[in-house]
Amino acid sequence: PALLDGPTIAEQDNLAKRESGVTDNSSMRLRMEAFIKEHQQLIVQALEKVDGNKFKVDSWQRPAGGGGITCVLQDGSVFEKAGVNTSVVYGTLPRAAIAKMRADHKALDPDVDSLQFFAAGLSLVLHPKNPMAPTVHLNYRYFETAQPDGSPAAWWFGGGSDLTPSYLFDEDAIHFHRHLKEACDAHDKGYYPRFKRWCDDYFNNRHRGESRGVGGIFFDDLDSADKDREQLFAFVRDCLGTFLPSYLPIINRRKDMPFTEDEKLWQQLRRGRYVEFNLVHDRGTAFGLNTPGSRVESILMSLPLTARWQYMHEPAKGSREERLLSVLRQPKEWV
């Protein structure tokens, strides 16, 4: 910023935190940061109870402001790999990036040369060892831009959560979606159907004509065109709050089920598909990997510990493996 500009939003936030901590009257930036860090702890503690092993915790700082906490549990007793990350980023958007964002956020002025931005999010991916237990993914994020003088320009929320089984238990898919639907319905009856469809649409391995998993919810760019900021923050809080009740009963009933060597192999092939989606299609991963200075190990913690690619593998007719594929090719309504 030029000499006449006010303090950057990173400076404003640092000052506000030092002077008065974070309360309900703080800026949304500070409240979102506090919220995701609190839930990161809650989730990590709950998962450590399930697994019996501790997460490795890495904190890192970004020179331009912000930082993150990466929590990873690798080769545990229940989880092959579990990552629960928060990140808070302050930075500057160049003109080209602003032009792109305008497609979804008309409030952005296309005539400024650069904008300050803030992004905070919690991301989680759990890959269990037992092939009967599904992988789960979750991400909730808040984005804000500011004029050079620090005044707000635009903001939005995004996020969602989705389930990726190797072996499909309908009761698990129903349980998972029921919790998400409840969280959505409390805020807007239109949300669940809209965000379920968005999820099926987004997590799709188009080159294979299959969904990555059995769905969940996904949304992006929710801003004042949709609801006011307090309402959307309350919605995101409820979505994240429903994660543990939506997943813990599932992992608890699957983690010790017996399985065969062939079932483990099938899980490994499905892990390969997970890698394909994340590396070929996921916009968040691509954005991260193409951002100079990003923390690659935190981005790629979403990949499973092990994966397999077998040429021309075809599940047997009438098998459980074949049924999963048919559901992935034609997403189902679970609730």
Q: Strands 114-128, 152-164: parallel, antiparallel or unpaired by DSSP?
A: unpaired
Of 193, 262, 280, 329, the residue at the interface with its own copies (CB under 8 A) is 280
Q: Is 137 a catalytic residue?
A: yes
- Rounded alpha-carbon distances, angstroms, from residue 62 to 17, 89, 277, 289, 293: 18, 7, 28, 16, 9
Q: How many CB atoms lie within 10 A of CB 60?
A: 13
Of 37, 208, 255, 320, the residue at the interface with its own copies (CB under 8 A) is 208
272 binds its own copies (CB under 8 A): yes
Binding mask 82-111 for its own copies (x = CB under 8 A): -x----------------------------
User: Which is the catalytic residue, given 105, 127, 137, 177?
Assistant: 137
207 binds its own copies (CB under 8 A): yes
CB of 74 to its own copies, least distance (A): 6
**Six-digit token pair at 244?**
């543990």
DSSP 198: H
End-to-end alpha-carbon separation of the chain, Å?
A: 51
Structure-token match 């635009």, residue found: 154
**Six-digit token pair at 327?**
């559901």
301 binds its own copies (CB under 8 A): yes
Crossing angle between the packed helical segments 28-51 and 243-254, to the nearest 10 degrees: 20
Structure-token match 């009967």, residue found: 132
204 binds its own copies (CB under 8 A): no
Of 15, 77, 309, 322, the residue at the interface with its own copies (CB under 8 A) is 309
Closest to its own copies by CB, 25 vs 311, is 311
261 binds its own copies (CB under 8 A): no
Site residues for its own copies, 127-186, by CB under 8 A, read none
**Can you give 154-168 as a three-state secondary structure string?**
EEEEEEEEEEECCCC
Q: Which residues bind its own copies (CB under 8 A)?
A: 56, 58, 72, 74, 81, 83, 207-208, 268, 272, 275-276, 279-280, 286, 289-290, 294, 296-297, 300-301, 303-312
Question: Which residues are identified as catalytic?
Answer: 137
